[in-house]
Structure formats: C-alpha cells, structure tokens
Amino acid sequence: MTFQTACLTDDLAPEEAMLVELDGVDGAPVPVAVVRDADGDYHAISDICSHGQVSLSDGEVEGCLVECWLHGSQFDVRTGQPVQLPAIRPVPVYPVNVEGDKVLVDIDGPPAGSS
C-alpha cells in the first residue's frame, strides 16, 4: 500500500467533504472525495457518482452519508454502497490513515465497494 497525503485534519469540519486529486498508478490524477463524518472520522471514496457522473464532494454530508447534488443519490462513505436511488452501483472506497495532522489515502490497491 502506498498512502498519499490528501489533506490536513483541519481542512474539514464534521459533515464536510472536499475533492482531492491523487496520483494514480499510471500517473493520471484520481479524483477522491475525502469526507469527515458526523463522528469526526475520515473516509475516502471515489469523487464520481456512479449514477450521474458528477462530483460527490459537492454534495451534502449527513452522518455517514454523502448525497449527490444532481439527482439525490446517497452513498455510505464507509462502504461506498448506495442507500438512496437512483444510484444502484457502489462507488469505490479507499483506505485512510490519520497521522498527526495529515489525512493519508491509499488509492493503489483494489478499492472496496467497486464492482
């Protein structure tokens, strides 16, 4: 696993999300939504909605859910599973480590939640 610095812990308040672009295996940027849930835990999921192909980091975060701003699909940031239609496919989730004030994300391995 290769973790990359995605952001700092102070960059996100609880129930907030932000877009970061991390370096993919082939060098291409990978859009990732870093989400801080209501409990203050950090999560990383693909920033691209599996239904509408728009940025999830632009959506609202409530508890452990992020809502796509375009059609209202909601995804569990812990699993990537959709919990609200119209999305029916999960989005990839990535491992997260917090070291000091840095939020680190690993996008190199096979993400959970992808299908």
Single pTM value for the model: 0.90
Predicted confidence at residue 25, as pLDDT, reads 82
Q: Are 74 and 83 in contact (CB under 8 A)?
A: yes
Amino acid 26: pLDDT? 83
Q: How far apart are CA 73 and CA 45, in angstroms?
A: 14
Instruction: Please give the average pLDDT of every successive group of 10 residues along the chain, which has 115 residues.
Output: 93 97 90 97 96 94 95 96 95 96 87 48
pLDDT, position 86: 95
pLDDT at residue 114, as a whole number: 45
CB-neighbour burial class of residue 65 (10 A; exposed 0-12, middle 13-18, buried 19+): buried
d(CA 29, CA 62): 27
Q: CA dist 40 to 12, 13, 81, 83, Å?
A: 9, 8, 20, 21
Q: What is the pLDDT of residue 93?
A: 97
